[in-house]
């Protein structure tokens, strides 16, 4: 008999409370497999395909495209064990179970933050499966290797060197077999599915064994290491431990986005003699001006767009900072256009999309372009042309809740403006102590293109525009 299970919108691991339905990937009556993406949702931070932890027939959907749902609200219901749609085969659980034998067997076992596919994760993590038979998915036997001493479970006891598991036992018992697989985000599950990585074969490096994106990437890069993770923890004194130098620690490959960032930052520090200056500014009037602009109707203006307009105006007054250094010719090349880069943090690492011709754009156009490039950065669809050719970078690290920083110049550019968080602070305003919205601005510049006077003049002009937005009218 079919069992109808309700799948609720999970916490996507971003600290958000709601998400907007962008596109349904299934219809009522469709047969879905376990972990198949069923809906595409957009949060304030990313666009995500959400996989369903149940396999069966979709019986209902909740919410139309464009609707905003809170975390924990029903997304859809699935009839597990029901007769499939005409002309299609009934769905089957990957473990080999073909009937409704309880919710613990119907779900994928993978856990998203905020919900589980069956019993609560905290309890299931400590319950070892007792059902194993010929129907279980075969698992390739792997030799047992020692786990780092700091990764051993708290309830484990010292034991002698572990021997390789018998082949027959390894094929009948999934590894690990002590409960659901903890997964921190649908993005991690999607990556594992695309790369063909079985999450049950991974031992997470996150808190309480959570599987992180880095764990999946290491499994893709090193199949041997992935097989070792599938083994049960072994004591540190196992014979294989002798091959690992004492205190070697974990090795994370510098590749992909992380490797590109490492190369560029190292080159910047090696080749550019940089210096940093900073100033605190009263951003109360800027915030009020933005609120007034958005209250007047029309497209909303982002704070980043206003800061970009200020940067463009400042670069028009101090073109030395919109330049590059050609050491082969021993020349400073001042650039006529402003192609404004902005730092964007994604699940794949830090990227710097570039807004072309920022000097000729309005605040509305800048807002739209920032939104488009940010969405593409999070989706991983930025083109090489959208990531190169910048002449100046704006870095809003205030979104991380920090006040100040010393930015590293995005080589081969000549400067970067950093913006900290805007927070209420005591401030002397018109001769009296008041609580104002204060921000710290930092400018890192290439000392070859200008001296401190030019850099200070640029930063002071930016601060004046932040404190008195009407100053911008002189340049419009």
More reliable by pLDDT, 205 or 236: 205
Average pLDDT, the chain: 76
When pLDDT is averaged across residues 19-41 and rounded to a whole number, the result is 89
In CATH, what number is assigned to the domain containing residue 468?
3.30.559.10
Given 179, 211, 240, the domain boundary residue is 240
Report residue 243's pLDDT band, with 50, 70 and 90 as the boundaries: low
For residue 50, pLDDT beyond 50: yes
167 and 293 in a common domain: no
43 and 123 in a common domain: yes
Report residue 123's pLDDT band, with 50, 70 and 90 as the boundaries: very low
Residue 40 is predicted with a pLDDT of 86
366 and 308 in a common domain: yes
Place of tokens 């490959």: 253
> How many angstroms separate the CA atoms of 118 and 109, rounded?
8
| Residues pairing with 354 in the sheet | 341
When pLDDT is averaged across residues 401-420 and rounded to a whole number, the result is 93
93 and 186 in a common domain: yes
> How many angstroms separate the CA atoms of 73 and 65, rounded?
15
Given 240, 272, 292, the domain boundary residue is 240
386 and 316 in a common domain: yes
216 and 321 in a common domain: no
Which residues have a Cβ under 8 Å from the Cβ of 34 and sit 6 or more positions away?
A: 52, 53, 54, 55, 91, 93, 94, 107, 108
More reliable by pLDDT, 259 or 353: 353
For residue 156, pLDDT beyond 60: no
Residue 18 is predicted with a pLDDT of 74
More reliable by pLDDT, 19 or 231: 19
When pLDDT is averaged across residues 439-463 and rounded to a whole number, the result is 96
Respond yes or no: is residue 447 known to be catalytic: yes
For residue 121, pLDDT beyond 90: no
Residue 316 is predicted with a pLDDT of 95
Query: Which range, 157-166, 372-381, 460-469, has the best average confidence (pLDDT)?
Result: 460-469
Residue 333 is predicted with a pLDDT of 96
Classify residue 410: in a domain, yes or no. Answer: yes
Percent above pLDDT 90 for the chain: 41
Q: Which domain holds residue 292?
A: 256-475
Report residue 177's pLDDT band, with 50, 70 and 90 as the boundaries: very low
Report residue 467's pLDDT band, with 50, 70 and 90 as the boundaries: very high
Classify residue 245: in a domain, yes or no. Answer: no
More reliable by pLDDT, 463 or 164: 463
> Per the residue annotation, which of 359, 429, 447, 468 is the catalytic one?
447
Classify residue 248: in a domain, yes or no. Answer: no
Classify residue 422: in a domain, yes or no. Answer: yes
> How many angstroms separate the CA atoms of 432 and 449, rounded?
40
Classify residue 433: in a domain, yes or no. Answer: yes
Classify residue 250: in a domain, yes or no. Answer: no
When pLDDT is averaged across residues 24-39 and rounded to a whole number, the result is 91
Asked which of 90-99, 173-182, 202-211, 466-475 is least confident by mean pLDDT, the reply is 90-99
> How many angstroms separate the CA atoms of 212 and 42, rounded?
21
198 and 316 in a common domain: no
169 and 135 in a common domain: yes
385 and 269 in a common domain: yes
Which residues have a Cβ under 8 Å from the Cβ of 91 and sit 6 or more positions away?
A: 31, 32, 33, 34, 55, 56, 57, 84
Q: What is the pLDDT of residues 286-316, one digit of tens each?
A: 999 999 999 988 889 999 999 999 999 999 9
Query: Which range, 104-118, 262-276, 313-327, has the best average confidence (pLDDT)?
Result: 313-327
More reliable by pLDDT, 475 or 33: 33
Classify residue 247: in a domain, yes or no. Answer: no
Q: What is the pLDDT of residues 370-410, one digit of tens each?
A: 999 999 988 888 887 888 899 999 999 988 899 988 889 99
Q: Is 195 exposed, middle or buried (0-12, 13-18, 19+ CB in 10 A)?
A: exposed
Report residue 180's pLDDT band, with 50, 70 and 90 as the boundaries: low
Q: 249-288 burial, b for 16+ CB within 10 Å, e for fewer? A: eeeeeeeeebeebeebeeebeeebebebbbeebbbbbbbe
341 and 311 in a common domain: yes
For residue 427, pLDDT beyond 70: yes
pTM: 0.50
270 and 122 in a common domain: no
Residue 425 is predicted with a pLDDT of 95
Residue 179 is predicted with a pLDDT of 52
375 and 291 in a common domain: yes
For residue 38, pLDDT beyond 80: yes
Please state the domain count of the chain.
Answer: 2
For residue 93, pLDDT beyond 50: no
Classify residue 385: in a domain, yes or no. Answer: yes
> How many angstroms separate the CA atoms of 399 and 126, rounded?
38
Given 240, 275, 295, the domain boundary residue is 240
């Amino acid at each position: 008999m079919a069992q109808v299970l309700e799948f609720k919108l999970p916490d996507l691991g971003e600290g958000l409370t709601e998400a907007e339905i962008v596109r349904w990937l299934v219809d009522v009556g469709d047969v879905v497999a376990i972990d198949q993406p069923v809906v595409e949702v957009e949060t304030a931070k990313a666009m995500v395909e959400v996989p369903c932890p149940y396999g069966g027939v979709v019986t209902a959907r909740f919410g139309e495209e464009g609707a905003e749902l809170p975390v924990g609200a029903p997304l859809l219901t699935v009839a597990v064990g029901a007769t499939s749609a005409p002309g299609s085969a009934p769905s089957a659980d990957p473990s080999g179970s073909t009937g409704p034998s309880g919710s613990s067997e119907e779900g994928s076992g993978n856990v998203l933050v905020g919900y589980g596919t069956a019993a609560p994760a905290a309890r299931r993590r400590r319950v070892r499966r007792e059902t194993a038979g010929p129907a279980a998915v075969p698992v390739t036997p792997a030799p047992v290797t020692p786990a780092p001493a700091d990764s051993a479970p708290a309830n484990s006891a010292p034991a002698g060197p572990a021997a390789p598991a018998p082949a027959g036992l390894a094929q009948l018992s999934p590894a690990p077999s002590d409960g659901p697989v903890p997964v921190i985000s649908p993005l991690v599950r999607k990556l594992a599915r695309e790369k063909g990585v079985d999450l049950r074969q991974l031992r997470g490096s996150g808190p309480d064994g959570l599987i992180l994106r880095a764990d999946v990437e290491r499994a893709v890069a090193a199949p041997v290491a992935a097989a070792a993770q599938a083994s049960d923890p072994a004591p540190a004194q196992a014979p294989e431990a002798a091959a690992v130098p004492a205190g070697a620690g974990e090795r994370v490959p510098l590749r992909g986005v992380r490797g590109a960032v490492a190369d560029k930052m190292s080159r910047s520090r090696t080749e550019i003699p940089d210096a940093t200056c900073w100033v605190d500014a009263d951003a109360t009037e800027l915030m009020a001006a933005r609120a007034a602009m958005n209250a007047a109707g029309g497209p909303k203006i982002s704070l980043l767009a206003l800061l970009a307009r200020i940067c463009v105006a400042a670069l028009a007054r101090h073109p030395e900072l919109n330049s590059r250094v050609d050491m082969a010719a021993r020349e400073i090349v001042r650039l006529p256009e402003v192609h404004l880069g902005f730092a964007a943090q994604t699940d794949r690492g830090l990227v710097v999309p570039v807004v072309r011709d920022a000097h000729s754009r309005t605040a509305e156009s800048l807002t739209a372009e920032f939104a488009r490039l940010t969405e593409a950065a999070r989706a991983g669809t930025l083109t090489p042309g959208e990531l190169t050719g910048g002449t100046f970078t704006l870095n809003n690290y205030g979104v991380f809740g920090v006040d100040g920083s010393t930015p590293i110049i995005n080589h081969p550019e000549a400067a970067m403006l950093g913006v900290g968080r805007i927070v209420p602070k005591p401030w002397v305003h018109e001769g009296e102590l008041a609580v104002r919205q204060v921000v710290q601005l930092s400018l890192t510049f290439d000392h070859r293109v200008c001296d401190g006077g030019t850099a200070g003049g640029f930063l002071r002009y930016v601060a004046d525009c932040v404190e008195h937005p009407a100053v911008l009218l002189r340049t419009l």
